[in-house]
Structure 1
């Protein structure tokens, strides 16, 4: 048996396909990559906010719906918006570090005025502007390896990226892990997800054997928070849940660049309910601070 996996053609996407593929091979199942170009790949010079939602996943998911592939593999943070109702989450791999990192020669508190830091994320831009208002934030596009090349070429003095991407690419770079209270990660950061067709019971059963339940609980709680607040790379919201035993500890942050709101929760219970509770708490505090109506 061979499972066809749809994914983008970036180096990181192929590595994530192989991460899923290795799990499948341990079950005696082979796999092949079905490489898909997305809107984000075709318009590399446009800011992500201009391209709208679904820029990293829409075409990949369509390949599964059209029967060109059996499953789709994504960075889970790229599918925060509602995906097609004919698809469902078949599996998530055990989470890699969810933190943001600062790739630069100096730690955050030692950055000099007007240091140019590259990021395409509004969340990262606003958090950085709030913490270090004298730093210059410059938009950067391209796959992770492309961004690294631009940094090494001196176009930027530093970058903010997901630690998981550096780990998966096995890059040897000097970086500083950013505190989750200062830089609360994007929801589902560090998680690889597998989507499949709802009616494909055979593939669904196979994928269930490679899924990590603790990671799934964290992911579902974070997605519930985002469903209340709104999120993704077009939003200045970060949310992170960590499951320890039966308890879920959650943190959520919002910043407009001038003010920053952070709330936390620590409880046992249904991940969706806890995520919703955290989202409502953050929304209440945002309104109290007058950031949004």
Structure 2
């Protein structure tokens, strides 16, 4: 039996896909990897906000919906909060580092005044400006190698990137990992997700063994909180859960260039209730501080 995997054609996406491919090959399946060029790959000079929602996923998931691929592999943070009604996340791999990292010669608080930091994320831009209003934040797009080269050639003093991306690409460079209290990560950052059709029972059975149940629960808690808040890819919110001592520990942050609001919750309830609790706690605190979206 051959299983067709749809994925973006970037180096990072293919490395993520290889983890799923190796599992399937070990189980005796034939595998075909279908590389897809997305809107985000074609318009590298456009800000992510201008490209709209789902720019990293729509074309990839379309192959699955139309029956031209059996599964799609994604960085889960790129998935919109609401998938196509016919699709679902059938498995998540064990989470890699969920944190943000600054690739630079110095820590954020030690960078020279007027330094330029590159990121295309509104969340990261706002947090940087909150902590360091005396440095400049500029958009930066392109693959990771391209972005890193701009640091090496001093076009930027540093860039903010997902720590998991540096690890997966095995990049050796100087960087500093942020605390989730300072830089609360994007929803589902560090998680690789496998998407399939809801009616494809066979794929669910095949991939159930690779599904990390704790990661899957954490992912659902974060997405539930995001839906309550109204966040999503490239929003000014960070949402993070971890499972610690049989409890869901959640951190959520709203930030703009002048204010940063961070809340924390603990819950022994299920992922849905825990996610709702975190989302509502942040909204309540924002309202208390005069911020209503």
TM-score normalised according to structure 1 size: 0.97
Q: Which residue of 2 aligns with 1:228?
A: 228
Q: Which residue of 1 aligns with 2:50?
A: 50
Q: Which residue of 2 aligns with 1:128?
A: 128
How far did 1:82 drift? 1.2
Task: Answer yes or no: is the 8 Å Cα contact 1:264–1:278 preserved in 2.
Answer: yes
Task: Answer yes or no: is the 8 Å Cα contact 2:81–2:223 preserved in 1.
Answer: no
How far did 1:217 drift? 0.8
Q: Could you give the per-residue CA deviations for residues 40-84 of structure 1, whole angstroms, max 9, x where no partner exists?
A: 011111000001101000000001111111100000000033110
Distance 2:145 2:78 in 1: 18
- How many pairs does the alignment contain? 293
Q: Could you give the per-residue CA deviations for residues 168-223 of structure 1, whole angstroms, max 9, x where no partner exists?
A: 01100100001110100001000000000111111111111110001011100000
Matched, 1:180 2:180: yes
Q: Which residue of 2 aligns with 1:266?
A: 266
After superposition, the CA RMSD in angstroms is 1.1
Task: Answer yes or no: is the 8 Å Cα contact 1:49–1:233 preserved in 2.
Answer: no
Task: Answer yes or no: is the 8 Å Cα contact 1:6–1:35 preserved in 2.
Answer: yes
How far did 1:232 drift? 3.0
The alignment partner of 1:254 has SS state of strand
Distance 1:231 1:173 in 2: 32
Alignment of 1:139-288 (within 5 A): 139-288=139-288
Runs (4 or more) in structure 1 with deviation over 4 Å come to none
Consecutive unaligned residues of structure 1, counting only runs of 5 or more, are none
TM-score normalised according to structure 2 size: 0.97
The alignment partner of 2:102 has SS state of strand
Task: Answer yes or no: is the 8 Å Cα contact 2:188–2:223 preserved in 1.
Answer: yes
How far did 1:29 drift? 2.3
Deviates more, 1:221-230 or 1:29-38: 29-38
Distance 2:232 2:163 in 1: 17
Task: Answer yes or no: is the 8 Å Cα contact 1:53–1:81 preserved in 2.
Answer: no
Task: Answer yes or no: is the 8 Å Cα contact 1:92–1:192 preserved in 2.
Answer: yes
How far did 1:245 drift? 4.2
Distance 1:21 1:245 in 2: 33
Q: Which residue of 1 aligns with 2:22?
A: 22
Q: Which residue of 1 aligns with 2:291?
A: 291
Task: Answer yes or no: is the 8 Å Cα contact 1:123–1:233 preserved in 2.
Answer: no
Distance 1:190 1:230 in 2: 21
How far did 1:3 drift? 1.0
Distance 2:84 2:73 in 1: 15
The alignment partner of 1:103 has SS state of strand
Distance 1:53 1:250 in 2: 25
Consecutive unaligned residues of structure 2, counting only runs of 5 or more, are none
Distance 2:20 2:2 in 1: 13
Q: Which residue of 2 aligns with 1:83?
A: 83
The alignment partner of 1:275 has SS state of helix
Distance 2:140 2:110 in 1: 22
Q: Which residue of 2 aligns with 1:64?
A: 64
Task: Answer yes or no: is the 8 Å Cα contact 2:241–2:249 preserved in 1.
Answer: yes
Distance 1:257 1:291 in 2: 13
